[in-house]
């Protein structure tokens, strides 16, 4: 098998879409958020991505049907949103780099006007009122988010694919931002996901009803964190890791 394979299900007639990406991470913050967008907007599954860098397993879905672990691409036509998500992040760094490069190339093929990467900021303690921090490819782009009430990310690292996608976008000069929701990091955190969705609402001018996120069902086997994402922000210190 090659580094990855792309299987198109439906042809997408995107205009100049926003490309939103969220994969399983600490607290499943990004995964909860993107799954909610897909369900709420009734986005169509338009493509599948498979790679030997993903965990060697099949997943059994709620309906009892098995499916090879992979990544999925969705499209919400009315809102002109391309949404990239998946069952897991790669098992090693080489795979994380190669799939991140592929995602940015895919966004360019769709002529996306912006990549919005969702992630988790691990605090290591319970967060009652999660805030969102942002890092972008340019200070001008970052200012567009701070004007929405988002804080700038402090000195530190954005780990695994959510950081590498931003890095690859920087390399090719593509507009991209990583939005990270504060979370303890050890349990699924719909509150942190809700904080991210509120920023997306403001940015895109769409409504994303989050009233039912607090009662979300377990994601089961899809709730896999990527290796090496744990980090914490100690009291009085700047963020160290974002996963």
CA atoms 167, 158, 43, 59: torsion sign: positive
**Domain residues for 130?**
15-42+89-242
Beta-carbon contacts of 143 under 8 Å, excluding residues fewer than 6 positions away, are: none
Domain assignment present for 77: no
Beta-strand pair 18-21/5-8 = unpaired
Average pLDDT (198-209) is 96
Determine the pLDDT at residue 182: 95
Average pLDDT (155-168) is 91
Joined together, the tokens standing for residue 82 give 């391309």
Give pLDDT tens digits for 146-159.
999 999 988 778 98
Domain assignment present for 4: no
- Chain mean pLDDT for the chain: 88
Average pLDDT (185-203) is 95
Helix axis angle, 160-172 relative to 93-109, nearest 10°?
A: 50
Instruction: Give the number of other CB atoms < 10 A from CB of residue 42.
Output: 10
* Residue 233 near residue 240 (C-beta atoms within 8 A): yes
CATH number of the structural domain spanning residue 188: 3.40.50.10900
Average pLDDT (214-227) is 44
CA distances (Å), origin 79, targets 15, 82, 195: 10, 9, 20
Domain assignment present for 23: yes
Domain assignment present for 215: yes
Domain assignment present for 198: yes
Beta bridge partners of 29: none
Beta-strand pair 132-136/71-76 = unpaired
Beta-strand pair 176-183/132-136 = antiparallel
Domain assignment present for 19: yes
Q: What share of the chain is helix, strand, coil (3-state, %, to 5)?
A: 30, 25, 45
Q: Is pLDDT larger for residue 225 or for residue 54?
A: 54
Beta bridge partners of 116: 20, 177
Confidence of residue 213 (pLDDT cuts 50, 70, 90): confident
What DSSP string runs through 75-144? Answer: EETTTTEEEEEES---SSHHHHHHHHHHHHHHHHHTT-SEEEEEEEEE-SS--SS--EEEEESSHHHHHH
Beta-carbon contacts of 149 under 8 Å, excluding residues fewer than 6 positions away, are: 199, 202
Give pLDDT tens digits for 68-109.
999 999 999 999 999 999 999 999 999 999 999 999 999 999
CA atoms 209, 28, 237, 155: torsion sign: negative
Domain assignment present for 216: yes
Domain assignment present for 101: yes
**Looking at the predicted structure, is the pLDDT value of residue 173 above 50?**
yes
Total count of domains within the chain: 1
Looking at the chain, the number of H-run helices and the number of E-run strands are: 5, 13
The model's pTM: 0.88
């Amino acid at each position: 098998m090659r580094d990855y394979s792309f299987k198109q299900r439906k042809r997408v007639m995107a205009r100049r879409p926003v490309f939103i990406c969220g994969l399983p991470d600490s607290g499943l913050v990004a995964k909860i958020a993107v799954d909610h967008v897909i369900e709420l907007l009734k986005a169509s599954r338009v493509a599948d991505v498979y790679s030997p860098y993903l965990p060697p397993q099949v997943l059994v879905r709620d309906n009892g049907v098995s499916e090879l672990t992979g990544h999925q691409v969705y499209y919400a036509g009315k809102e002109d949103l391309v949404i990239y998500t998946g069952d897991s992040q790669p098992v090693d760094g080489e795979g994380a780099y190669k799939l991140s490069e592929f995602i940015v190339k895919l966004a360019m093929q769709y002529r996306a006007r912006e990549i919005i990467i969702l992630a988790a900021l691990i605090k290591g303690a319970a967060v009652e009122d999660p805030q969102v921090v942002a890092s972008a490819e340019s200070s001008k782009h970052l200012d567009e988010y701070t004007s929405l009430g988002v804080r700038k990310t402090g000195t530190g690292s954005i780990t695994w694919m959510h950081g590498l996608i931003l890095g690859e976008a920087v390399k090719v000069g593509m507009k991209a931002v990583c939005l990270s929701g504060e979370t303890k990091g050890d349990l699924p955190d719909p509150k942190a996901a809700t904080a991210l969705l509120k920023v997306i609402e403001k940015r895109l001018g769409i409504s994303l009803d989050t009233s039912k996120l607090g009662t979300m069902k377990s994601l089961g086997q899809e709730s896999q964190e990527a290796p090496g994402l744990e980090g914490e922000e100690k009291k009085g210190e700047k963020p160290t890791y974002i996963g």
